[in-house]
Structure formats: C-alpha cells, structure tokens
Amino acid sequence: MRKLRVLALVHKELLPPDNLPEGVDPATQPWRTEYDVVTTLRGAGHEVKTLGIGSDLGLVRVAIEEFKPHVAFNLLEEFHGEAIYDQNVVSYLELQRVPYTGCNPRGIMLARDKAISKKVLTYHRIRVPDFVVFPMKQRIARPRRLEFPLMVKSLVEESSFGIAQASLVRGDEALRERVLFVHEKIGTDAIVEQYIEGRELYVSLLGDRRLTVLPVWELLFTRMPEETARIATAKVKWDFKYQEKHGIRSERAQNLPPALEERIRQVGKRVYRSLMLSGYARIDLRLTDDEKIYVLEANPNPQLAYGEDFAESAHAAGISYAELLVRIIRMALRRRNVAAT
Ligand SMILES: Nc1ncnc2c1ncn2[C@@H]1O[C@H](COP(=O)(O)OP(=O)(O)O)[C@@H](O)[C@H]1O
Ligand SMILES: [Mg+2]
C-alpha cells in the first residue's frame, strides 16, 4: 500500500504518547487502542497525525485543511461526552468528503439504540430478547408478558457502562431501583430485556458489501462462584484483577458443531446487513442449551486494541494486526466517492 496521511481521531483524554514512558505497559493504559493503531500504522510507514477531540468540530476542519489526510481513522466513541454523538462526527467527515474507517452514520445510529436495532432485527426474523423501554421521567410499569429474570441496561451506552450484577433483577422492586439507577446515574433511557441464559458468543465481521466473518469467539467464566451471574459486567470487561480471580477469558469457541457454527456466522452476516453496518463490527450473541441463537446487540467500530477480541479473532483467521488495519483503511478508500454507503 502506498504511504498515506492518516488522521487518527481520538478522544482528547486518550491521546497516546509519541514515545512510551519507561516502565509503562501500553496494554494496561486507557489509551491502549489509540496507541496500538497509531504505532502500527507508523510502523508500516504511514504518516499519522493524532487529533484529540472533545467538543470542537472546528479542530477537525482545521486538521483536514492543514494536514490534508487521505483517510480519517475513526477511534472516537463519543463527542461532547455523549456516546451517541460519534455518528455525527462521522456525518461531518462525509460532508467534508474525507474517507473514514469503520461504520457509516446510519449504521451507527441503528445499532447504538438497543431498542431500534431489535425492532429492525425482528422484522428480519432474527431472534432477539423481548424487551421494553422505560424513558426517563416516565412511569415504570412492567408489562405482564415480561417475566423475571430481566436485564436492565442503558438504551444507548456501550462497553458495559452501567452493567453490574445488580442489572439482573428478579422482582419488581429491584427492577424499579435499577431503572432509576440508569435514569439518574447513567443519565439515559433504560431498556429492560428478557434474560437469556446461555453461552456468550461474539462474531466479528469485516467488510462493506462482501463480508469476512471471523471465527466465533466465546467469553468464559472458568472460576466464577455459582451464585454469580455469568454476564459481561463492567468489572468482567475492564478489571484485570477480577478477571484473573474469576478465570475470565475469551477464546475461539470450542465444541461448536460445524452446522451450528455456520448458523451463527449466518446470523452475524444477517445482523450486519439488516443494521446497514459497514467497515467492521462485532455482534454479541447468546446461545441457549437448546441451540437457539439470540442477538444481544451489534457493535459498530468495536474496540481494536491489539490482543483484544476483535484483533484476536482476526489473528485466528490468519489476519495479522497490521493487515487488519490495512484492510480497514482500504475499505475506507474504496468507498471514497460513494455517498452514504
Ligand atoms: N438480555 C440479556 N440476556 C443475558 N445477558 C445479557 C442480556 N443483555 C445483556 N446481557 C449481558 O450483559 C452484557 C452487556 O450487555 P450489552 O447489551 O452487550 O451492552 P454493552 O453495549 O454495554 O456491551 C452482555 O455481554 C451480556 O453478558
Ligand atoms: Mg456488548
């Protein structure tokens, strides 16, 4: 690939250092993804400018004018402190006609809203947990069709923000309390879903029209106490010590009969297309004992850190980290002249 000017868009508090301070392990830092992407692209000979963004789009415009990037590498997960605003930054890149990596704004919007996405998937006959939305400041009354246990989550937040053992509720009082927690502490509407007991599987995909489905990944809880629910809480995802203590790790899903693995891959593709995703995404699923596949959510622009699930499943498919980033950039350049992919 020819040498490119890459504008890496990152959150202003996640600017990676140009030179690693001594004794710092990047894998344990909050800016690990940003660091991995930037250093790998630089290592491949590209000129990378990192731009830290908080709430000022003007900075993006100036960087586009001055740096004249061939492509923007989008690592933003929020704008102005709002998770759902990242789609607007991508829309702005479209208006500026700058090719960008990852998902288009419409796909981000559809996938981010955990209710809209389930409505679209239901139309396409893809199995999702039954659910109800409790908007902020409105009455909290459980519809009778939804029986306990139930999962209470933010309608739009990501990365297990607000997900804890207390998110799994078994009675109306606990339900009410947790919905109020989401309203007041997370500051968003809440979605309450039927709890799906089962194996937790992730399918990662790469592509715009032609899709590459990466090997199915599984989150394992090997030393979790019996009474603790096997759900991917914030602690499970982000607390290294907790992971070690409870034997939490992820790896290629074992013991999936080939026909079942193929069904999971097909569900992954159908979700990706139904939600109009592009670039790369990870679909979170649950597989029940009787082999029903439920889609929990789709994650456009999932975490790209080296050694994390997406990169690891690419690795298992024979795609190195550097190749993965190149493929993501290639896609961006290929759709350069296509309005709204
Ligand atoms: N309906 C559900 N049934 C069972 N587990 C769930 C359900 N919803 C969420 N979870 C658990 O909570 C985790 C986080 O929920 P998810 O909807 O993926 O939110 P996030 O966007 O924060 O990743 C899931 O990975 C899963 O372990
Ligand atoms: Mg998830």
Q: Is 283 in the pocket of ligand 1 (CB under 6 A)?
A: no
Q: Which atom of ligand 1 is nearest to the CA of 194?
A: 1
Q: Is 218 in the pocket of ligand 1 (CB under 6 A)?
A: no
Ligand 2 center to residue 150 CA distance, Å? Answer: 16
For residue 256, is it within any domain? yes
Residue length of the chain: 341
Which of 171, 194, 217 is a domain's end point?
194
Same domain? For 68 and 180 the reply is no
Calculate mean pLDDT across residues 53-66: 94
Whole-model pTM: value is 0.94
Largest separation between any pair of C-alpha atoms in the chain: 60
Same domain? For 190 and 209 the reply is no
CATH number at residue 40: 3.40.50
Q: Is the peptide bond before 129 cis (omega within 30 degrees of 0)?
A: no
For residue 69, is it within any domain? yes
Same domain? For 279 and 249 the reply is yes
Share of the chain above pLDDT 70, in %: 98
Q: Is 309 in the pocket of ligand 1 (CB under 6 A)?
A: no
Share of the chain above pLDDT 90, in %: 84
Averaged confidence pLDDT in the chain: 94
Bigger pLDDT: 339 vs 99: 99
Calculate mean pLDDT across residues 206-222: 96
Calculate mean pLDDT across residues 59-65: 96
Query: pLDDT at residue 197 above 50?
Result: yes
Same domain? For 288 and 305 the reply is yes
pLDDT in tens, 244-268: 999 999 999 999 999 999 999 999 9
Q: What is the DSSP string of 80-116?
A: TTBGGGHHHHHHHHHHTT--BSS--HHHHHHHHSTTH
User: Predicted confidence band at 337 (pLDDT cuts at 50, 70, 90)?
Assistant: low
Task: Read off the DSSP letter of residue 253.
Answer: P
Domain count of the chain?
A: 3
CATH number at residue 212: 3.30.470.20
Alpha carbon nearest to ligand 1 atom 15, residue = 160
For residue 112, is it within any domain? no
What are the two backbone dihedrals, phi and then psi, of residue 251, each rounded to the nearest 5 degrees?
Answer: -160, 175
Same domain? For 159 and 93 the reply is no
What CA–CA distance (Å, rounded) separates 13 from 77?
12
Residue ranges of E strands in the chain? 5-11, 47-53, 71-74, 131-134, 150-154, 168-169, 190-194, 199-207, 211-213, 217-221, 248-252, 280-287, 293-300
Same domain? For 155 and 214 the reply is no
167 class by beta-carbon count within 10 Å (0-12 exposed, 13-18 middle, 19+ buried): buried
For residue 273, is it within any domain? yes
Calculate mean pLDDT across residues 288-293: 97
For residue 338, is it within any domain? no
Query: Could you tell me the residue range of the domain that residue 174 belongs to?
Result: 132-194
Same domain? For 223 and 173 the reply is no
CATH number at residue 141: 3.30.1490
| Residue 28 one-letter amino acid | T
- Please tell me the predicted confidence (pLDDT) of residue 1: 81
For residue 313, is it within any domain? yes
Which of 87, 102, 117 is a domain's end point?
102
- Please tell me the predicted confidence (pLDDT) of residue 340: 41
Q: Out of 13-17, 40-44, 150-154, 169-173, which region has the weakest mean confidence (pLDDT)?
A: 13-17
Same domain? For 298 and 200 the reply is yes
Query: pLDDT at residue 177 above 80?
Result: yes
- Please tell me the predicted confidence (pLDDT) of residue 341: 39
For residue 10, is it within any domain? yes
Calculate mean pLDDT across residues 281-290: 97
Residue 310 CA: distances (Å) to CA of 49, 148, 217: 24, 32, 9
Same domain? For 138 and 182 the reply is yes
- Please tell me the predicted confidence (pLDDT) of residue 19: 85
Parallel, antiparallel or unpaired: strands 47-53 and 5-11: parallel
